[in-house]
Structure 1
Amino acid sequence: MAHIIVVGNEKGGAGKSTVSMHLATALARMGHRVGALDLDLRQKSLGRYAANRAKFLETEGLELPGPRYRDLPDVDAASLAPGENVFDHRLSVAVTEMEPDADFIVIDCPGSHTRLSQVAHSLADTLVTPLNDSFVDFDLLARIDNDGERILGPSVYSEMVWNARQLRAQAGLRPVDWVVLRNRLGAQAMVNKLKMERALERLAKRIGFRIVPGFHERVVFRELFPRGLTLLDLKDVGVKQLNLSNIAARQELRELLRALQLPGVTVDL
């Protein structure tokens, strides 16, 4: 069976689609068969990223490794069994059709609570939650006291992940490996940044996730989207010499892949 990587949280602007595309492309470049799904049926940022990539490569006459993206299939409501949810069925059909030809399936979730996102979390073998380095985003995981030190209790997203874990356990599936990725980090060692680090470490022990290194805030990620490219594609499209920021970003991606500890993956980018 394909190993399912779900990239999700319930807040927009955390870089989920950028993380999804870079993970999927990196795995493809290492020789793995990768499928990709976008469950944000309104914005479809990952879908547009994939479409931009296909168009750019065709225009330039290039062939580069990448994920095999597909939209969720339409389903005739009349074909559903009594009580069956149409969104459940659409996701199930997409995953079932992808699995025979995929080692990994990367699923990008919307920045809100939806039925599709809820079901995807229950399918996750690895759950990656990008989190901006801010207590505004930390509130997604847990409620915290005014001093930014004392954790009062889990928030709605953490409870949803807990429910997904329970569903997997009831189905006899292996436990989900929940990874929180500190994303869009600033360069300065500010007091707020240190408080965030301490709060995340305490919360990780309390509700059971791993903290892995993410990406610093870099302009290059925004520049790559219109062409559907990732950091790993730059040399293949004529960038002969990477600047220091790009080199550092590639290293961050390598460190992320190593930290995820995905089955059968040896990071050799």
Structure 2
Amino acid sequence: MAHIIVVGNEKGGSGKSTTCMHVATALARMGHRVGALDLDLRQKSFGRYVENRRAFLAKAGLDLPGPDYRDLPEVDPATLAPGENPFDQRLTAAVAAMDPVMDFILIDCPGSHTRLSQIAHSLADTLITPLNDSFVDFDLLARIDPDTGKVRGPSIYAEMVWGARQLRAQAGLKPIDWIVLRNRLGAQQMHNKKKVGSALEELSRRIGFRVAPGFSERVIFRELFPRGLTLLDLKDTGVEQLNLSNVAARQELRDLIAALRLPGVQVAF
């Protein structure tokens, strides 16, 4: 059975698609078979990223490893059981088709609460939640007392993950390994960064997730998207010498893959 990695956060702009593409491509370049789905049926940023990659590689005459991206299959309404949600069947069919032939299935969720996102979270063996390093994003996980800075309790997204965990437990599946990824860590605002970090550590003990460093804010990520490339592809596309920022970004990706503790994965790039 494939190991399912879900990247979710009910807020846009947290770096989900960048995280998806880099994790998927890193695994593919290490020799793993990686399937990919994008559940944001309107914007499809992850899907567009893969499409850009296919177009660029075809034009450049390159053959580089990457995820096997597929759209959700359509379903015949006549095949639905009474009261069955068509989105449930579409996602189930997509995962079932990939499961026997993939080592990993990477699913990108929309930055909003949807039926597809709910179902995907209940399928997750590993859940990655990219989070911009601010209390604006932290509010999705928990409510903070403005005077003391203490965590009052879980918020909307954390409650949704809790529901997914309950569904998995009822089905006899292993618990979700939940990793909250601190993206866009800046060199400035050290005091605020420390406060966010302390709040995350407190919350992680209360509701059960691991905290890992993600990607810093770098121009390179915005430049890679139109060609569908990742940090790992630069030398294969003619970049002989990486600058210090790119080298640091590669190390961030290496640290992220190691922090995920995925089965059968030895970081080798």
Tell me which interval the TM-score lies in, with the shorter structure as reference length.
over 0.9
Q: Confirm or deny that 1:265 pairs with 2:268.
A: no
| Displacement of 1:229 | 0.2
Determine if the alignment matches structure 1 residue 229 to structure 2 residue 214.
Answer: no
2:118 is equivalent to residue 118 of structure 1 = yes
* Runs of 4+ with deviation above 3 angstroms: none
Q: 2: distance between equivalents of 1:47 and 1:268?
A: 26
For residues 39-93 of structure 1, give each alpha carbon's deviation from its aligned partner in whole angstroms, at most 9, with x where no partner exists: 0000000000000000000000000000000000111112111111100000000
Alignment partner, residue 76 of structure 1: 76
Q: Which residue of 1 aligns with 2:99?
A: 99
Quote how far apart the aligned CAs of 1:149 are. Answer: 1.5
TM-score by length of 1: 0.99
Equivalences for residues 45-64 of structure 1 within 5 A: 45-64=45-64
1:218 aligns to what?
218
**For residues 11-160 of structure 1, what are the structure 2 equivalents within 5 Å?**
11-147=11-147, 149-160=149-160
**1:175-232 deviation per Cα after TM superposition (whole angstroms, max 9, x unaligned):** 0000000001101252111100100000000110000110100010010000000000
Mapped partners of 1:265, 1:217: distance in 2: 27
Where in structure 2 are the equivalents of 1:187-226 lying within 5 Å? 187-188=187-188, 190-226=190-226
SS at match of 1:62: coil
Give the Cα–Cα distance (whole angstroms) in 2 for the partners of residues 147 and 71 of structure 1. 47
How many residue pairs were aligned? 269
TM-score (norm 2): 0.99
SS at match of 2:100: helix
Q: Distance in 2 between matches of 1:187 and 1:248?
A: 14
C-alpha distance in structure 2 between counterparts of 1:229 and 1:57, whole Å: 9
In 2, the alpha carbon distance for the partners of 1:105 and 1:120 equals 11
Q: Give distance in 2, aligned partners of 1:32 and 1:10.
A: 29
Distance 2:194 2:261 in 1: 26
C-alpha distance in 2 between matches for 1:40 and 1:52 = 17
Partners of 1:48 and 1:222 in 2: how far apart? 14
Residue 148 (structure 1) shift? 6.1
Amino acid at match of 1:14: S
**What is the aligned-residue RMSD (CA, Å)?**
0.7
SS in 2 for 1:100: coil
**Helix, strand or coil: the match of 1:220?**
helix
Q: Aligned in 2, Cα 1:185/1:148: closer, same or farther, shift over 3 Å?
A: farther
Quick one: distance in 1 between partners of 2:140 and 2:258? 26
For structure 2, the residue ranges without an aligned partner over 5 or more in a row are none
Residue pair 1:148, 1:195 contacting (<8 A) in 2 also: no
Letter in 1 for 2:45: S
Match of 1:248 in 2: 248
Distance 2:58 2:208 in 1: 44
- Output the amino acid matched with 1:236: D
* Identical-residue share of aligned pairs (%): 76
Residues 104 and 218 of structure 1, relative CA distance in 2, 3 Å threshold: same
**Matching of residue 165 in structure 1 with residue 165 in structure 2:** yes
2:37 maps to amino acid: L
Q: Secondary structure at the match of 2:212?
A: strand
Question: Which ranges in structure 1 are unaligned for 5 or more consecutive residues?
Answer: none
Does the residue aligned with 2:36 lie in a helix, a strand or coil?
strand
Check conservation: 1:5, 1:126, Cα contact below 8 A: yes
- Secondary structure of the structure 1 residue equivalent to 2:89: helix
